[in-house]
Amino acid sequence: MPPSQNPTNSEERINKFLARAGVASRRGAEELISAGRVRLNGSLVTELGTKVIPGRDIVEVDGAAVRVRSDRMYMILNKPAGHVSTLNDPQGRRTVAELMPETDHRLFNVGRLDMDTTGILLLTDDGELAHRLMHPRYHVSKEYLATVAGRPTEDVLKQIRSGIELDDGPTRPAEADIERLGDTTSVIRLVIREGRKRQVRRMLAAVGHRVLALHRVRFGPIDLGELKLGETRELTDAETEALIANAGLGGRVE
Ligand code: URA
């Protein structure tokens, strides 16, 4: 393992942490501490041997949070239909694993898309972030384009917006707008903040519209953009930070 990394997030001396973050040499970091310029979780650091846990503790120099670049990986895939969204499938169906680039990172999918749903799927080896993003408490928004049979009325949209009674309970208020209205098929844009099984399909079926195609265009702050079906890309640093903030981990030192 290169000395600049600490992937296990185990305890380390604060001067080593500051050196890894590129703030100063280890010796220089000690000088910053002696000069009273370093804080740990809001308290002034006075002991040179103070230990920190990267990823949990907040270290500041002159009031600015110090981040050590994470060696975790964050990718999105534009999932095509016909693949299950896990990386291995006990039933032997085609998985998204065959669409992922070669990597030493042990990635896993954050949430799922149905086999026949297309669009943005996040994959990462950041367990803490993934856990939060999937937890209902954080209400991460997901935006879908649903091609449906028929011409949805304003009343249908209102029902979706106010919540629909499903067999596993009422849905939370959602956003719903017409993207394209046609005689036989139409496209509805929906934003939901839950992740129940086949939720969008069940919501639309409950208001009388069969889903012909379902495509997810946004996951939290991450837009699918121009990524083609079956292709992957790594998130930019700005996107990763937005995702971390979205999951309520904004103060986390990377
Ligand atoms: N809702 C669905 O019905 N299916 C998906 O794949 C995602 C959301």
Domain spanning 12-70: CATH 2.60.40.10: no
Q: Considering the domain 72-138+222-235 in this protein, what is its CATH number? A: 3.30.70.580
Report which ligand 1 atom has the smallest distance to the Cα of 202: 3
Per-residue model confidence (pLDDT) at position 252: 54
Per-residue model confidence (pLDDT) at position 251: 52
**Has 177 been annotated as catalytic?**
no
List of the chain residues with pLDDT < 70: 1-9, 68-70, 250-254
Domain 141-219: CATH superfamily is Alpha-L RNA-binding motif (3.30.70.1560)
Q: Do domains 72-138+222-235 and 141-219 have the same CATH topology?
A: yes
Query: Which region holds residue 180: left if phi is over 0, alpha if psi is between -120 and 50, else beta?
Result: beta
Per-residue model confidence (pLDDT) at position 250: 62
Tell which one of 147, 199, 202, 218 to mutate to probe ligand 1, the residue whose CB is within 8 A of the most ligand atoms: 199
Active-site hit among 114, 116, 177, 237: 114
Tell which one of 214, 215, 216 to mutate to probe ligand 1, the residue whose CB is within 8 A of the most ligand atoms: 214
Domain coordinates of the chain in residue numbers?
12-70, 72-138+222-235, 141-219
Q: How far apart are CA 57 and CA 45, in angstroms?
A: 13
Torsion sign over Cα 160, 161, 162, 168: positive
Helices (H) then strands (E): counts for the chain: 6, 17
Per-residue model confidence (pLDDT) at position 223: 97
> 47 alpha carbon to ligand 1 midpoint, in Å?
52
* SS3 label, residue 143: strand
